[in-house]
Structure 1
Amino acid sequence: MSRRQRPGYTRRGLTVVLGLLLLWVGLAGCSSKYIPGIGSPSSPSGTPPSPKGKGGTYKPYTVLGQTYYPLGSAEGYSETGVASWYGPDFHGKKTANGEWYDMYQMTAAHRILPMNTRLLVRNLENGRTAEVRVNDRGPFVNNRVIDLSYAAADMLGVVGPGTARVYLQTIPGERIQYVGPFYVQYGAFVVQENARRLRDKLVARGFPGTRITMGELGGTTYWRVQIGAFSSLPEAEANRLRLSKESPDCFVIAD
């Protein structure tokens, strides 16, 4: 995880306590992918919604004695280097372009790329890829090239090790097309037996493909109950909407 500073911001030495909401939502897991914008894990209570970005600034800025000159265009840009990630300490705080940082969205910080640039990031150590949008500045430590949101780092397999060598390039046209099978994560539990009870109830209700997967966060094991499998994203989203009436924080993942 990156120890970083933003223009105009300094990190406070806060102890982050994961609330009950995170216990319920859990993580999509290393073998699964978040589907950005499709019922992604909600922000903690009290976090204001993200306003429209201000488009960022192209003016030079100075951090830790180093002056950076943002590019006027991202066309044809590519770069190889070390990626890190940032999460709870900045969740709900403003990014460099005026948005509220949401660690569950597919965003990233870059020192010089224009705000709202879309990037395809490939983890050179495991081959995973993710699409992110630049909405912040950084990282400003150890010659790292990009600071990923928690969701992006999780998709790329960077959360555990904290850093990874990546290749990034701008995306001029089509968005990434996610392939299934798809699941709706209904809930997550610390006690495995509670997850089993919920799975059995969902199977009895007509969801025979409901499964339990294991994940870890901060040294704690979570048992995630996921309904599926669905062959298409629209089918998974339709079921998520149906289930959200009883489980508001459920979200779609792709295996």
Structure 2
Amino acid sequence: MAGKAMAKDSVAGRSGAGRMARGLLIAVALLALSGCAETKQGQKSAVQGQARAVGGFKIGEPYQVKGVWYYPKEDFGYDETGLASWYGPGFHAETTANGETFDQNELTGAHKTLPLPSLVRVTNLENGRSIIVRINDRGPFVPGRIVDLSRRSAQLLGFEGQGSAKVRVAILPEESRAIAAAARAGQAGVSVADISPDGAPKPVAAPRAAVQIEGASPVARQVAERPAFDPSQTVAGATVDGRFLPAAVVADTPVRSNGRLYVQAGAFTVYDNANRLRARLSDLGTTRIDPTIVGNTQYFRVRIGPLSSVEAADSILNQVIEAGNNGARVIVD
């Protein structure tokens, strides 16, 4: 989604009678730098000193980016591996896809299809560091990346310098339902008590005429209501400006020492279809079919690898996509 660019400016001086001109240029440059610093400080203060936009709940319609279709949905069983990237300075204080204010120093992130907002656990499979992140944006749209994290998230996970990392992203179902309910309530201007445990507004029955049996005493009806789930019961964090924000808590998680990278070109319920794709991509490298059971359905996954590096995975992925397999992705196994 987000790119990071750095530029260096240089001013070449001339000799001789240009000394005074050089002095003027230096003075102007110092003034410009001072103004730039004041502007950046002003932007930072704008985020820190003002109430951030609360945003709302959003799933969204299917959308297309660079020829690839994405289908947002509520998926409270989401658990995938892949590559993470990060974004920050160029988007600081901008508006996220669900209307919140992006702060590169908060633990937030972007995902292509998960509900906004959601809470996910992101684990760096290279060093075992794990944090909770609030998903409030769409992206990343760089092939092979499954999540785009804020700069602070990348720092805590230990991959700010390298730019990407092998990760596992798993949604927290109950916590995600709870913050979705709060976001929906904020959108509608209603109390969280009027939201069902699954996040949807509580249905209201149509009024009916009272029926009274002669001689019978009215019986009081008691309805046990499920209390709203508070995500702070299970996740360290606090509600700020109407949003639950995870705290900067890093957990150490046992992981495999070397997660192997693959490009998954597709998954099929019919073996012959998978085998045809495997044969078509065999020139790109070691290609195989990995069967798996999801629910009660067997799938045959076509994979290329293992691959030696992120760069190698990116290269193979681009070739697989160019061959017409837009749903291909990088996984870690």
Structure 1 pair 79–92 and aligned structure 2 pair: CA distance change class (3 A) = same
Aligned counterparts of 2:43 and 2:155: Cα–Cα separation in 1: 16
Closer, same or farther: CA 80–254 of 1 in aligned 2, 3 Å: closer
| From 46, 58, 69, the counterpart of 2:60 | 58
Q: CA deviation at 1:19?
A: 4.8
For 1:59, the aligned partner's letter is E
What amino acid does structure 2 have at the position aligned with 1:68? Answer: Y
User: Quick check: 1:119 aligned with 2:178?
Assistant: no
The aligned counterpart of 2:81 is: 80
Distance 1:253 1:111 in 2: 24
Q: Which amino acid aligns with 1:153?
A: A
After TM superposition, the structure 1 = structure 2 runs for residues 139-178 of structure 1, keeping only pairs within 5 Å, are: 139-173=140-174, 175-177=234-236
Contact kept, 8 Å, 1:43 with 1:104, in 2: the verdict is no
Structure 1 residues 118 and 22: CA distance shift in structure 2, 3 A: same
Preserved contact between residue 75 and residue 170 of structure 1 (Cα < 8 Å): yes
Structure 1 pair 22/43, CA: closer, same or farther in 2 (3 Å)? closer
- The answer (yes or no) to whether the contact 2:121–2:130 under 8 Å persists in 1 is yes
Contact kept in structure 2, 1:120 and 1:130, CA below 8 Å: yes
Q: How many residues align?
A: 155
Contact 1:56 / 1:98 at 8 angstroms: preserved in 2? no
Checking the alignment, whether the CA contact within 8 Å between 1:79 and 1:168 is kept in structure 2 is yes
Deviation for aligned residue 1:100: 1.3
Give the unaligned 5+ runs of structure 2.
Answer: 9-32, 175-232, 238-246, 251-333
CA distance in 1, matches of 2:56, 2:67: 26
| Distance in structure 2 (CA, Å) of the matches to 1:133 and 1:253 | 12
Cα distance 1:46–1:153, how it changes in 2: closer, same or farther (>3 A)? Answer: same
Distance in 1, Cα, partners of 2:105 & 2:113: 23
What percentage of residue pairs aligned between the two structures are identical? Answer: 39
Look at both structures and tell me which one has the larger radius of gyration over its CA atoms. Answer: 2
Q: In the alignment, is the contact (CA less than 8 A) between 1:103 and 1:149 conserved in 2?
A: yes
Q: Partner of 2:100 in structure 1?
A: 99
Aligned partners of 1:84 and 1:164 also within 8 Å: yes
Match of 1:69 among 63, 68, 71: 71
For structure 1, list consecutive stretches of 5 or more residues without a partner in the other structure.
5-10, 24-41, 179-251
Matched position secondary structure for 1:166? strand
Q: Is the 8 A contact 1:112 1:137 kept in 2?
A: yes
Equivalents in 1 of 2:127, 2:6: separation in Å? Answer: 32
- Matched AA of 1:90: F
SS of residue matched to 1:145: strand
Is the 1:49–1:100 Cα contact (8 Å) retained in structure 2?
A: no
Distance 1:253 1:133 in 2: 12
CA offsets per residue over residues 62-89 of structure 1, 9 Å max, x none? Answer: 2222221101x22111010000000000
Question: What one-letter code is carried by the residue in structure 2 that aligns with 1:83?
Answer: A
SS at match of 2:173: coil
SS in 1 for 2:44: coil
d(CA) in 2 for partners of 1:177 and 1:99? 21
Report the secondary structure of 2:85's partner residue.
strand
What is the alpha-carbon distance in structure 2 between the residues aligned to residue 160 and residue 14 of structure 1?
14
Equivalents in 2 of 1:21, 1:104: separation in Å?
18
CA displacement at 1:175 relative to structure 2 = 3.4
Output the CA distance in 1 between the equivalents of 2:114 and 2:100: 16
Q: How is 1:163-202 mapped onto 2 (pairs within 5 angstroms)? A: 163-173=164-174, 175-177=234-236
Partner SS state of residue 151, structure 1:
helix
The TM-score normalised by the length of structure 1 is: 0.53
Q: Compare relative contact order (CA 8 Å, sep 6+) and give the higher one, 1 or 2.
A: 1
Q: How far, CA to CA, are the matches of 1:77 and 1:43 in structure 2? A: 35
Q: For residues 123 and 171 of structure 1, what CA distance do their matches in structure 2 show?
A: 17
* Cα displacement (A) at 1:61: 1.6
In 1, Cα distance between equivalents of 2:152 and 2:84: 14
Structure richer in helix, relative to its length: 2
What TM-score do you get using the length of structure 2 for normalisation?
Answer: 0.41
